[in-house]
């Protein structure tokens, strides 16, 4: 790192300490985001590029833009409409307009960019993060960490080699009441936990049968596919429905399951499993949707503990009064998280003995920004790790471990086999059919390299 960049980092640290009265996730009353730009010096904030802004990326861009210690300088999207929309919204929030660029490779050539926020489709997550790390950029990486397990291992190797900060967007790791609940769990408030039940429910419509048609003029489909081997454009793929195609997406298990399974693994203090199985399928509609809309994954950790995940994409009936959540079962009681910044504890007689209420508005059905105020804590943890060397709440090793659990569930589902796993490495044992899905093929010239 250059001497000028080091001086900039020292200034940022001092400026942050002087702005300690900032409210988390927002700014002091009477001040605009552009006012803070003047206080800190517009050249002393971390410069960010945001990749993929049609949905979640738009929310992340505007949330980062309102933070006093970061500035969104580049919007990167292959959809010109999405890029223009987010460009305008960020300009309104931060008082300065970012530029737009559709090619991530050109973005990473910009030496003024400190960090890349990756919210593009899943097949882009690890390849983009690896390109950024090689370019010396820090990375805020939306979940899942990767499209396949091999990419997760590459991410860890890239972070170790290039020494950049990589934070996964499993933001509940930074939500105060969730973190407090997990801390209490680790301290033995209900004894030793040995089972975690996780779930997600929704009522998604069918996606029909896609038609091969001309690529819209607002879309650069070549760059959208990027590292994925080329397939023809069809009209029920973009946006969002790519989640349900194995070629680009990872299904509901990684789309929403990653969040809850991550909390479960965190609470149980487990790393890699010993056995994984899955059942389910595409039951609700007969259409192009390839991944399961109904799925049950069981993840076992020796003879110590287990995690289950229930995913229902097309039936929204709640579990324990919530559309998404985690329940820990332990020796002396039960702890429930309902997907918000809250938790409850019950004894073995099913009596409620403690309830910590949610203190922020959360819309768990939102596809892009269910919890902006709380998410800002996670974003600032990322920024502080860059500026001050603060510990990350969601570093990439743990991000890979949580992502891998549901990836293994999908591999078990796709192969119709029970996976035996090496608990030291997370790798599949003695199952060539399943091991073939550990990695993917890439479009020639787009293969990730460390």
pLDDT at position 145 is: 98
Calculate the average pLDDT of the chain.
91
Report the pLDDT averaged over residues 138-161.
98
Q: What dihedral angle (degrees, nearest 10) is formed by the CA atoms of 220, 225, 226, 231?
A: -110
d(CA 28, CA 23): 6
| Full-model pTM | 0.89
Tens of pLDDT, residues 399-412 = 999 999 999 999 99
d(CA 131, CA 343): 39
> What does the angle CA 380 – CA 144 – CA 65 come to, to the nearest 5 degrees?
30
C-alpha distances (whole Å) from 261 to each of 196, 315, 439 are 9, 20, 22
Q: What dihedral angle (degrees, nearest 10) is formed by the CA atoms of 177, 181, 187, 190?
A: 150
Least trusted range by pLDDT, from 7-16, 123-132, 134-143: 7-16
What are the structure tokens assigned to 256, written together? 């929403």
The CATH H-level (homologous superfamily) assignment of domain 3-173+376-388 is NAD(P)-binding Rossmann-like Domain (3.40.50.720)
pLDDT at position 44 is: 75
Q: Is 350 left (phi over 0), alpha (psi -120 to 50) or beta?
A: left
Least trusted range by pLDDT, from 11-25, 163-177, 356-370: 11-25
Q: Are 108 and 137 in contact (CB under 8 A)?
A: yes
Q: Is 198 left (phi over 0), alpha (psi -120 to 50) or beta?
A: beta
d(CA 48, CA 382): 12
Q: Residue for token digits 């787009």?
A: 446
Q: Is the pLDDT of residue 49 over 80?
A: yes
What are the structure tokens assigned to 90, written together? 């960020």
Q: Are 426 and 171 in contact (CB under 8 A)?
A: no
Tens of pLDDT, residues 181-210 = 999 999 999 999 999 999 999 999 999 999
Give 3-state DSSP helix, strand, coil % of the chain, rounded to 5.
40, 20, 40
> What does the angle CA 46 – CA 20 – CA 69 come to, to the nearest 5 degrees?
10
d(CA 266, CA 54): 30
Report the pLDDT averaged over residues 13-26.
35
**251, containing H or E segment:** helix 251-255
Write down the domain spans for the chain: 3-173+376-388, 180-359+397-438
What are the structure tokens assigned to 160, written together? 């170790």
CATH code for 180-359+397-438? Answer: 3.30.360.10
Q: Is the pLDDT of residue 14 over 90?
A: no
d(CA 409, CA 419): 9
Among candidate residues 91, 54, 47, the one with its CA nearest the CA of residue 69: 47
Report the pLDDT averaged over residues 316-330.
97
Note whether 3-173+376-388 and 180-359+397-438 share their fold: no
- The phi and psi torsions of 104 (rounded to 5 degrees) equal -60, -30
pLDDT at position 8 is: 45
- The 8-class DSSP code of residue 40 comes to H
Report the pLDDT averaged over residues 289-296.
98
What residues pair up with 72 in beta bridges, in sequence order?
48
Q: Is 261 left (phi over 0), alpha (psi -120 to 50) or beta?
A: alpha
Q: Is the pLDDT of residue 1 over 60?
A: no
Among candidate residues 31, 14, 10, the one with its CA nearest the CA of residue 22: 31
pLDDT at position 25 is: 36
pLDDT at position 207 is: 98
Confidence of residue 373 (pLDDT cuts 50, 70, 90): confident
């Amino acid at each position: 790192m250059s001497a000028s960049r080091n001086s900039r980092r020292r200034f940022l640290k001092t400026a942050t300490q002087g702005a300690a009265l900032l409210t988390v996730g927002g700014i002091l009353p009477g001040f605009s985001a552009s006012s803070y730009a003047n206080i800190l010096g517009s050249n002393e904030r971390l410069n960010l590029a945001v990749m993929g802004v049609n949905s979640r990326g738009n929310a992340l861009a505007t949330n980062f833009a309102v933070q006093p210690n970061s500035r969104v300088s580049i919007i990167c999207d292959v959809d010109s409409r999405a890029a223009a929309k987010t460009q305008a919204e960020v300009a309104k929030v931060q008082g300065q307009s970012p530029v737009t660029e559709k090619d991530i490779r050109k973005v990473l050539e910009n030496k003024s960019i400190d960090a890349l926020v990756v919210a593009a489709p899943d097949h882009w997550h690890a390849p983009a993060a690896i390109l950024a790390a090689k370019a010396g950029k820090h990375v805020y990486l939306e979940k899942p960490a990767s499209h396949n397990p091999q990419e997760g291992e590459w991410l860890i190797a890239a972070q170790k080699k290039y020494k950049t900060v990589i934070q996964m967007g499993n933001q509940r790791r930074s939500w105060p009441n969730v973190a407090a609940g997990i801390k209490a769990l680790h301290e033995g408030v209900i004894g030793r936990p040995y089972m975690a039940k996780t779930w997600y429910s929704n009522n998604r419509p069918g996606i029909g049968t896609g038609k091969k048609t001309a690529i819209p003029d607002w879309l650069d489909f070549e760059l959208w596919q990027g590292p994925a081997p080329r397939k023809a454009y069809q009209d029920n793929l973009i946006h969002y429905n790519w989640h349900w195609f194995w070629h680009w997406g990872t299904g509901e298990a990684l789309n929403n399951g990653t969040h809850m399974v991550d909390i479960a693994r965190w609470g149980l203090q487990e790393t890699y499993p010993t056995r994984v199985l899955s059942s389910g399928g595409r039951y609700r509609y007969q259409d192009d949707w390839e991944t399961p809309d109904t799925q049950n994954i069981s993840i076992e950790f020796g003879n110590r503990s287990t995690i289950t995940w229930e995913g229902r994409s097309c039936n929204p009936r709640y579990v324990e009064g919530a559309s998404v959540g985690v329940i820990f079962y332990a020796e002396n009681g039960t702890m429930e998280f309902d997907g918000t910044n809250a938790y409850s504890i019950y004894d073995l007689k099913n009596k409620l003995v403690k309830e910590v209420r949610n203190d922020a508005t959360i819309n768990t059905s939102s596809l892009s920004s269910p919890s902006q105020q709380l998410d800002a804590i996670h974003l600032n943890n990322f920024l502080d790790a860059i500026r001050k060397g603060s510990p990350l709440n969601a570093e990439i090793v743990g991000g890979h471990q949580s992502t891998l659990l549901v990836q293994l569930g999908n591999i078990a589902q796709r192969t119709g086999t029970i996976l035996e796993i090496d608990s030291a490495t997370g790798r599949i044992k003695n199952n060539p059919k399943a091991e073939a899905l550990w990695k993917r093929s890439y479009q020639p010239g787009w293969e990730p390299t460390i």
